[in-house]
Amino acid sequence: MRAGKHDVIEVIHAKRDGGVLSTSQIDWVIDAYTRGDVADEQMAALAMAILLNGMDRREIADWTAAMIASGERMDFSSLTRPTADKHSTGGVGDKITLPLAPLVAACGVAVPQLSGRGLGHTGGTLDKLEAVPGWRAQLSNDEMLAQLDSLGAVICAAGDGLAPADKKLYALRDVTGTVEAIPLIASSIMSKKIAEGTGALVLDVKVGSGAFMKSLDDARELAEVMVALGKDAGVATVALLTDMETPLGRTAGNAIEVAESVEVLAGGGPADVVELTVALAREMLAAAGRDDIDPADKLADGSAMDVWRAMISAQGGDPDAPLPVAKESHVVTATADGVLTRLDAMAVGMTAWRLGAGRARKEDPVQAGAGVVWHARPGDTVRAGEPLFTLHTDTPERFDRALATLEDGYDVAAPGTSYDARPLIIDRLA
C-alpha cells in the first residue's frame, strides 16, 4: 500500500535493517494501520522488527504522538480539583487500583482511572470490579466527567475513541510474540494516559517473575522512557520500580481481590498492599500539588471507604451485596514444619488463570469466584498439616492442572532458616 511518498514495505525494510524511522514514516504507518490500509500481517512484521532492533527516543516519542493523534483527547479542565492517575505494568495480586482511586479522591485529587481486563497470568481491574453485583465498566465521557466532578474518582473502561491505533496494535502484539518490545509497551501505555488528559501520572513499573519486565535493567529502561514521554507531553510523571517476584497481598483472583481491597479501605488488609497503596497515593498527591495531606489518615478515618461505596454505587454496583463465591475449593497443606522462603508470582498467577480467574483470549469469560488464597508469605513459619493455599473454582476439573502449576512455585525450608525480605519499592524515577 502506497500513500504519498511512503509505502508499508519501505517502512518494514527500514526497521528490519536497523534503520531509524522518520517522523513522516511513523505518522503515515500508524494512520494507515488505523484506517485498515496496512494489514495486520504487515504491522506484525514491523512490530517484530521494532522488538528486535529497538527505537531511539525520538522515534518512540513520534510513535506515541501518532497513536494519540489516531483518536480523541479528553479534557478535565472543567473540574474544580487537580487530576492524577496511576498505571501499573501488571502483576499478580495487584489490586492496588481498587483502594488507591478512592483514597486519592478522599484527599481532594480527582482520579480518572481508565483500566483494562486481564490477559494471561495478570489480573484485570475491570474483571475484578465486575465481580461486584451490578457494577458496570462502560461509561460515556459525560458520565465519567460528572462522576469525577461529584465524587472525585472513577474506574472504567476506555472508550473506543481513545487511541484506537493502540487498541488494534495491542491485540496484534499479544498474538505475535511482540508484547515485550519496550518501545511498544511505553507508547501503548503513554498514548492512552496522555490522551486521557490527566494532569499528573504515577507509574508502577513491576519487576520480577510475575512482571513483564523480568530484569531490573529492563524495568528501569521502560520507566525512564515513559517518564520522559510524560514530561515531554506536559504531564507531571513519576515512576516507582516495585517488586513482583512475590505476589501482592494474599489473594489472586477477582472477587477475592475485591474483598481484600475492602479490607484495606476498612483500615486492615495485608501490610504490603497497604504500603504500596499509601506510597502511590503520596506520589499522586505530590504530583498534583496536594502533598499537604497524608493519605494514611484518610484510610484510618473511613473517608476512603466512603468514596469507594459512592463510586461503586454510582456505576450501578451494590457495595453491600455479597461477593460471588466459587462452587468448589481445594486446600494445599504444608507437608512439614519450616519457613516459607519463596512464593513465585508467575506460578501463583498461572494457577489463578488455570482455575478460571483469567483468560487466554480477550473474548474469553472469567469466573468471578476463581482464584488462589495463600495463607503464608515468604518469611512466615508454617506447620505440617496447616493450610498453605486454598484454590477456588466453579469447575473442579481445573484443579489438577492448577495444582501442577503451583507445585514448583514455592519452597519451604527447614525450621529456623533465615529469610531476607526483598524491598517492595525498589527505586523511584522522576
Q: H or E element: which one contains 374?
A: strand 371-374
User: CA end-to-end span of the chain, whole Å?
Assistant: 41
Q: Write the DSSP string, 214-243.
A: -SHHHHHHHHHHHHHHHHHTT-EEEEEEEE
Number of residues that make up the chain: 430
Strand, helix or coil for residue 102:
helix
Grid cell, residue 315, equals 456505576
Calpha distance 335→309 (Å, rounded): 42
Which whole-number Å values give the CA distances from 89 to 138, 206, 279, in the listed order? 22, 6, 16
Give the residue numbers annotated as catalytic, written as ranges: 87, 166, 173, 188, 192
Place of cell 485498515: 36
Nearest residue to 230 (alpha-carbon basis) of 275, 198, 261: 198
- Phi, psi dihedrals of residue 343, rounded to the nearest 5°: -135, 105
231 vs 221: CA distance, rounded Å: 16
Pairing assessment for the beta strands 6-7 and 2-3 based on DSSP bridges: antiparallel
What are the CA-CA distances from residue 167 to residues 42, 238, 311, 396 (Å)? 16, 25, 26, 34
From 237, 232, 235, 214, select the one nearest 60 (Cα to Cα): 232
